[in-house]
Structure 1
Amino acid sequence: MLITDDRYFQLVHTLTEAHAGTDNFVVMGRVWVENQIQVALCKADIYPASSEE
């Protein structure tokens, strides 16, 4: 599944914010959580269309 860059990054931002109170967010930091979300989305074939080019 492909989604536009704006929608992808909004999804990553929303999911990152949803983890704001978790232990992983506090201990590992925002960048780590955001990276984990992006890895999971890529594994699920959900990534910006520009990633395929």
Structure 2
Amino acid sequence: RWGVDSFGQELYIPEATSLTKHGTIIRASTIPEVPTDSLEALDRPPEDISTTPVSVF
């Protein structure tokens, strides 16, 4: 399963996203300030996400 660190909350990503066709959970990040680009990266293909300050594990 994919997990993306973001904002101290668990957020559900619907099937429409490129991260996974089955949806995924976003978990808390210890990064105090996350740039807006990190949020936008969630709508980008995985190869683009890897270049942003979002941890994919």
TM-score (norm 2): 0.25
Structure in which a larger fraction of residues adopt helix: 1
TM-score (norm 1): 0.26
Larger Rg: 1
Structure in which a larger fraction of residues adopt strand: 2
